[in-house]
């Protein structure tokens, strides 16, 4: 069975640009969460979606937005990129919120 | 908002039992407390999850006191392959917004 997939794996952008990151959950999983992980630090919660509704939001600026589609895949959008947005962006899926999360390999975003 | 505190690092030897404690206050009353393991360049991997008292699976045990203000991950008979970063994860509701809060991580080094 396929695990959580994310695309792209790596991305280089310049300040001020916009980026869209994509995540496909494990089949049957209805909850998707997004995290930002800076090298050497723990993951920081950005969003959680369940059944296409936003269930939770971390302390990130409004430049960060996300959505979940009817097939439960998800997109994370970041506008007006800053150098500090450079990080590994992780997507995780679970059957329902609160249960074991399965993580994708992440998207490495570099902002120059 | 809930806060979590974990030791930054721990050392142990092969075959020993390792206990890692995470302190967490103001966590959501209905949420699980979850622990993850992360190796370099990989996404976190689920270890164990519990609500209260003791939970045991094939790889670890989790002890949660009645007040749920801390949790202790116990790894029996560790091996070199258990060298990794370990995170506790809790949920919190603040101003009707749900957030997932990760600990800063405990870097566990197992020596031969």
Give chain B's domain count.
Answer: 1
Interchain contact, A45 vs B102, CB within 8 Å? yes
Helix (H) or strand (E) holding B109: strand B106-111
The number of domains in chain A is 1
Q: Do A43 and B42 touch (CB under 8 A)?
A: no
Q: How far is CA B52 from CA B29, B55, B68, B70, B72, in A?
A: 11, 8, 7, 10, 11
Q: What is the pLDDT of residue A48?
A: 95
Residue B85's nearest CA partner among B106, B62, B71 is B106
CA distance A34 to chain B (A): 10
- Give the domain range for residue A42: 5-111
- Distance (Å, rounded) from C-alpha A106 to C-alpha A103? 8
Domain with residue B52: its CATH number is: 2.60.40.10
From chain A, the residues in CB contact with B44 under 8 A are 43, 90, 92, 101, 103
Look at residue A3 in the predicted model and tell me its pLDDT.
Answer: 93
Name which of A43, A54, A59, A99 to mutate to probe chain B: the one with the most chain B Cβ atoms within 10 A of its Cβ: A43
- Give the mean pLDDT of B34-38: 97
The residue in chain B having the minimum alpha-carbon distance to the alpha carbon of residue A97 is: B31
Burial class (CB in 10 A: 0-12, 13-18, 19+), B85: buried
Q: Which residues of A touch B45 (CB under 8 A)?
A: 103
DSSP-assigned states of every residue in A30-66: -EEEEEEE-TTS--EEEEEEETTEEEEE-S--TTEEE
pLDDT given at position A97: 79
Percent of chain B residues topping a pLDDT of 70: 100
Q: Using the beta-carbon criterion (under 8 Å), do A41 and B104 form an inter-chain contact?
A: yes
pLDDT averaged over 10-residue windows placed end to end, chain A, 112 residues: 91 97 96 95 95 94 97 97 97 90 96 96
Domain that includes residue B43, residue range: 3-111
pLDDT tens string B50-84: 998 899 999 999 999 999 999 999 999 999 999 99
A66 and chain B: CB distance < 8 Å anywhere? no
Q: Would the CB atoms of A56 and B46 count as touching at under 8 Å?
A: no
State yes or no: pLDDT of B27 exceeds 90.
no
Rounded to 5°, the CA angle A68-A73-A76 comes to 60
Task: List, as ranges, residues 33-62 from A with C-beta within 8 Å of B.
Answer: 33, 35, 41-45, 48, 55-59
pLDDT for A1 = 62
Phi, psi values for residue B88, rounded to 5°: -95, 150
Max Cα-Cα span within chain A: 38
pLDDT band per the 50, 70, 90 thresholds, residue B97: confident
Query: Any idea what the CATH number is for the domain that residue A16 is in?
Result: 2.60.40.10
Long-range contacts for A57-61 (Cβ within 8 Å, ≥24 apart)?
Answer: A57/B97, A57/B99, A58/B99, A58/B100, A59/B99, A60/A36
């Amino acid at each position: 069975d396929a695990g959580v997939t994310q695309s792209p794996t790596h991305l280089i952008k310049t300040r001020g640009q916009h980026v869209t990151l994509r995540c496909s959950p494990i089949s049957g999983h209805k909850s998707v969460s997004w995290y930002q992980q800076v090298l050497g630090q723990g993951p920081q919660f950005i969003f959680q979606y369940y059944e296409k509704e936003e269930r939770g939001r971390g302390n990130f600026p409004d430049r960060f937005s996300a959505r979940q589609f009817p097939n439960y895949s998800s997109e994370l959008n970041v506008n007006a990129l800053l150098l500090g947005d450079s990080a590994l962006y992780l997507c995780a899926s679970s059957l329902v919120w609160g249960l074991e999360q399965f993580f994708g390999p992440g998207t490495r975003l570099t902002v120059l | 908002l809930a806060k979590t505190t974990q030791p930054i690092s721990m050392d142990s030897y092969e075959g020993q039992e390792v206990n890692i404690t995470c302190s967490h206050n103001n966590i959501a009353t209905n949420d699980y407390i979850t622990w993850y393991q992360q190796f370099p360049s990989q996404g976190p991997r689920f270890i164990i999850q519990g609500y209260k008292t003791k939970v045991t699976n094939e790889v670890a045990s989790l002890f949660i006191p009645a007040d749920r203000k801390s949790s202790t991950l116990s790894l029996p008979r560790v091996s070199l392959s258990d060298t990794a970063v370990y995170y506790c994860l809790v949920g919190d509701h603040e101003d009707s917004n749900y957030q997932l809060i990760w600990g800063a991580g405990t870097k566990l080094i197992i020596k031969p």
